[in-house]
Structure 1
Amino acid sequence: MKNLSRLLFAMLLVLGYSNVNAQDQNNPWQITIGVNAVDGYPSGDGAPFSETFGDELFNATDHWNILPSLSTISVSKYLSDGFSFGIAGSLNKIDKWGDISKAPDVTNKVDDLSYYAIDGTIKYNFLEGKTIDPFVGVGGGYTWIDEIGAGTVNGTLGFNVWFSENVGLTLQSSYKHAFEDYLDTHFQHSAGLSIKFGGTDTDGDGIYDKDDACPDVAGLEAFNGCPDSDGDGIEDSKDDCPNEAGLAELNGCPDTDGDGIADNKDNCPTVAGLKALAGCPDADGDGVTDADDKCPNTAGPAANKGCPWPDTDGDGVLDKDDKCPDVKGTVANNGCPEVTETVQKQLNEYAKTILFDTGKASIKSQSEAVLGDIINILKEYSTAKFTVEGHTDSVGSEKLNQRLSDSRANSVKEYLVSHGIDAFRLSALGYGESKPIDSNKTRAGRANNRRVEINLAK
């Protein structure tokens, strides 16, 4: 009963140790249950480094004590870089212990002795993560045979054969060197089923947090545990449209109209269009999208909403460049009619007949008709600028004549402006008696010199 208590105590230690540390790596825990064999014949003469040491190591018939039932349990915790630490508890029944010293070839039979052991081991796995995983270990423990117990220092060799990520077969052999003479040095072999467990999978996607690039969100193994919400084969973190299935070449976004422009960047997602126009069509190729093109089938500039510029007056100058779009003109004069010599002559024929009160700048009422004719000509040539010039004869002082010519020129200008001619188109200038066109010695000549001219400004 005491021995059974020892074994239960050992198992409690083992199970208690399994809950000491946090489980923070993939399958950091390994539990192994199986059978063990105790070999009390490590060497023919008892010396651990003699020539005959281990010469009958595999003589299981004569020397191995095997309890054909569950007789060993161990738990180990992975540390890092292939190292782990474990505790094992085992029991056995001893009925043979080496050979009789006086008869070296005769097995030393003993009464059924109880064997109990608890051992701690630091192991190093050479091929971590491989199907066949050899290891070595070193450690120590305490072993009882019946009521006698002693400490041991242990060396271990073994290997795991993993059938899956979590389940495998473990075979190992330990050399246990006792510190007390009353406990013989011996071997203990074991074979058992091993199960690895304890990996954390926060999001429950079957991928342990250690290997999960998105440990808090359930995902796919193909994407290291990250999700693909729309199922288009592109993980959400690299998908510009994670909630809509799309194309890899468009970073996971759809292209409904198939024009090579993702819907989220396509201003016309249901109609195939041009990249330069943000996915919208341009039937006439004028660079204006059909939706904004007032003439979608006829090319025209964007400034005219996709329609060609008109030439209302048919003078060869488009309305956009024509300063007189409703009046036929010349290209040289920006679409406006040019003042010809004939027109200029007609203006001055009219201007000569403007009458003033004697010695004054006031225009006589009978000149209104001819001034109306002048106004009509000026309006016809609406972009042309003119100079209203005043002239006198030589009667009177030169200073007086200059002042009178200025006043009469300005009087005509003011009349024209008051009847609809833009002031900026007209200037007024008096020349006095300096530019006669006839002799001032005759009455008729002086009458010709008293005149107003309206000339095209150069």
Structure 2
Amino acid sequence: MNMKNLSRLLFAMLLVLGYSNANAQDQNNPWQITIGVNAVDAYPSGDGVVNNASFGDTFGDEFFNVEDHWNILPSLSSISVSKYLSDGFSFGLTGSLNKISKWGDVPGLAAGVPEQTNEVDDLSYYGVDGTIKYNFRENKTFDPFVGVGGGYTWIDEIGAGTLNGTLGFNYWFSDNIGLTVQTAYKHAFEDYLQTHFQHTAGVSIKFGGTDTDGDGIYDKDDACPDVAGLEEFNGCPDTDGDGIEDSKDDCPNEAGLAELNGCPDTDGDGIADKDDNCPTVAGLKALAGCPDADGDGVTDADDKCPNTAGPAANNGCPWPDTDGDGVLDKDDKCPDVKGTVANNGCPEVTEEVQKTLNEYAKTILFDTGKSSIKSQSEAVLGDIIGILKEYSTAKFTIEGHTDSVGSEKLNQRLSDSRANSVKEYLVTNGIDAFRLSALGYGESKPIDSNKTRKGRANNRRVEINLAK
């Protein structure tokens, strides 16, 4: 091989390397370099063969007749670099060299005389070819492809352009290393260069993928290209190692449960610790993870009676009934005095009590013709006050009555005045004014005859009656 031919080969390699460095790398392993050997086969074409022999029997006849037709250089004789484009397409450049000693067949010169291999004198062969390939099964172990392209081929320093069709396959042993086998049919545009086949086999290496975070997953397929992650999460991390990627983990720094979106549940009550007010003690969801031993809806920590059900309003304790009258203190208007349910826990004014009040009231004495109460009535008024305080929620009407002596108008005014005088005395001595009302009836409601002294005395009276 002379220096001129070697220079041509080096020029072809420079073209290949220059192309590989002139394009951006933005796909997973977008570059493929294949280094191997090639075989050139000019059979069955008679172009340019001695005696102007015609085209061979059929296209591809004796395609695998390696011994008679294939020219193989038993050393590194082919190098190609290709760049993935998209959707299965790639573009590559190939530089190759060979030494030609068999260039097709010489037809028999007479009937019955067999063809003979066309022996030549070790012609040099150089080729630079560009090919657009389509891979049928991207990222599969067995990856067949077809290609079309063109190039320039020199044989014994005489060159011509070619139109090429390629068929082959890659067989990948790993993500990056594989075997490539292909056949290219190279149709020459000049008569002095025969159309021929070039077969190539070599080791292929894919490279050039970008893995910014160094997690072994290329950026193109990495959902988190700037953060090292795991393959099962498309390159995204699982910081706490609980099998839930951080983006879907509500507690990315604490190992937890899938059903709780990656958060831990220390007490196993089904409530994530972050939402559990009592994370170390099993509790109820309704109480934010805290226990309620007596089931009264008050957490044990806030329940003053944790083993006895009671309302929240009473700190989880049952309401008391201090006076034992069947009315709880919270509803009992007289919690310290036994009463009736009908009267909200307060004692009811019975007929006997009513009778006693009026027996006391009718003994109240007034100055003659006036509303002022005589001092000797203070004792009986004290008894009345005691009864009214015992029935502290009851309301009463103080009624004033007179006999028929004097004018009706005067008697009405006197009865009003005396009733109000009694009310004022009672209020002054501790009875709430809102419980009392005063009303005079004058001489309109006698209880005895006004014709006798005794009868008139009975009619001059004060009554204290339970308000209806």
TM-score (norm 1): 0.95
2:71 is aligned to: 65
Q: Is the 8 A contact 1:44 1:55 kept in 2?
A: no
Q: 1:327 to 1:49 in 2, by over 3 A?
A: farther
1:31 is aligned to: 33
Aligned-pair CA distance for 1:188: 0.9
Alignment of 1:177-216 (within 5 A): 177-216=187-226
Aligned-pair CA distance for 1:232: 1.0
Q: Is the 8 A contact 2:360 2:380 kept in 1?
A: yes
Aligned-pair CA distance for 1:128: 2.2
Q: Is the 8 A contact 2:322 2:336 kept in 1?
A: yes
1:41 pairs with one of 23, 27, 43: 43
1:87 is aligned to: 93
Aligned-pair CA distance for 1:387: 0.3
2:155 maps to 1:145: yes
2:289 pairs with one of 276, 279, 283: 279
Q: Residue type matched to 1:402 in 2? A: Q
2:458 is aligned to: 448
Aligned-pair CA distance for 1:139: 0.6
Q: Is the 8 A contact 1:43 1:54 kept in 2?
A: no
Q: Is the 8 A contact 2:169 2:180 kept in 1?
A: yes
What are the Cα deviations for residues 121-175 of structure 1, in whole angstroms up to 9, with x where unaligned? 1111222222221111111001112321111000111111111111100011111
2:254 pairs with one of 244, 266, 291: 244
Q: Is the 8 A contact 1:85 1:121 kept in 2?
A: yes
2:16 is aligned to: 14
Task: Report sequence identity in percent.
Answer: 90
2:357 pairs with one of 344, 347, 355: 347
2:6 pairs with one of 4, 7, 26: 4
Matches of 2:441 and 2:56, distance apart in 1: 146
2:380 pairs with one of 370, 384, 392: 370
Aligned-pair CA distance for 1:345: 1.3
| Worse-matched range after superposition: 381-390 or 258-267 | 258-267
Q: Residue type matched to 1:166 in 2? A: N
Q: Is the 8 A contact 2:125 2:153 kept in 1?
A: yes
Matches of 2:169 and 2:351, distance apart in 1: 119
| Worse-matched range after superposition: 390-399 or 105-114 | 105-114
Matches of 2:229 and 2:190, distance apart in 1: 58
* 3-state secondary structure, aligned to 1:382: coil
Matches of 1:72 and 1:263, distance apart in 2: 65
* 3-state secondary structure, aligned to 2:301: helix
Q: 1:371 to 1:336 in 2, by over 3 A?
A: same
2:173 maps to 1:171: no
Q: 1:362 to 1:49 in 2, by over 3 A?
A: farther
1:357 is aligned to: 367
* 3-state secondary structure, aligned to 2:355: helix
1:312 is aligned to: 322
Matches of 1:171 and 1:376, distance apart in 2: 121
Matches of 1:356 and 1:2, distance apart in 2: 154
* 3-state secondary structure, aligned to 1:290: coil
| Worse-matched range after superposition: 276-285 or 224-233 | 276-285
2:84 pairs with one of 59, 78, 83: 78
| Worse-matched range after superposition: 433-442 or 90-99 | 90-99
Q: Is the 8 A contact 2:44 2:57 kept in 1?
A: no
| Worse-matched range after superposition: 168-177 or 143-152 | 143-152
What are the Cα deviations for residues 275-318 of structure 1, in whole angstroms up to 9, with x where unaligned? 23222111222222111110111122222111111111111211
Matches of 2:89 and 2:318, distance apart in 1: 83
Matches of 1:367 and 1:48, distance apart in 2: 160
What are the Cα deviations for residues 181-232 of structure 1, in whole angstroms up to 9, with x where unaligned? 1211111111110011122222221112222222232211122222111111
Q: Residue type matched to 1:330 in 2? A: T
Q: Would you say how many aligned residue pairs link Structure 1 and Structure 2?
A: 458
Q: Residue type matched to 2:130 in 1? A: G
Q: Is the 8 A contact 1:389 1:453 kept in 2?
A: yes
Q: Residue type matched to 1:31 in 2? A: I
Aligned-pair CA distance for 1:423: 1.2
Aligned-pair CA distance for 1:102: 6.4
Matches of 1:409 and 1:202, distance apart in 2: 102
Matches of 2:296 and 2:409, distance apart in 1: 67
TM-score (norm 2): 0.93
Alignment of 1:93-112 (within 5 A): 93-100=99-106, 105-112=115-122
Q: Residue type matched to 1:349 in 2? A: E
Matches of 1:416 and 1:48, distance apart in 2: 148
Q: Is the 8 A contact 2:47 2:55 kept in 1?
A: no
2:337 pairs with one of 327, 342, 349: 327
Aligned-pair CA distance for 1:50: 5.5
Matches of 2:118 and 2:163, distance apart in 1: 25
* 3-state secondary structure, aligned to 1:237: helix
1:124 is aligned to: 134
2:57 maps to 1:51: yes
Matches of 1:282 and 1:53, distance apart in 2: 92
Q: Is the 8 A contact 1:96 1:109 kept in 2?
A: yes
Matches of 1:164 and 1:42, distance apart in 2: 38
Q: Residue type matched to 1:370 in 2? A: V
Q: Residue type matched to 1:291 in 2? A: A
| Worse-matched range after superposition: 353-362 or 154-163 | 353-362
1:114 pairs with one of 107, 118, 124: 124
* 3-state secondary structure, aligned to 1:296: coil
What are the Cα deviations for residues 377-414 of structure 1, in whole angstroms up to 9, with x where unaligned? 10100010000111111112111211111121112112
* 3-state secondary structure, aligned to 1:109: strand
Aligned-pair CA distance for 1:365: 2.6
RMSD (CA atoms): 1.9
Q: Is the 8 A contact 1:43 1:55 kept in 2?
A: no
What are the Cα deviations for residues 296-345 of structure 1, in whole angstroms up to 9, with x where unaligned? 11122222111111111111211112110001112221111111112111
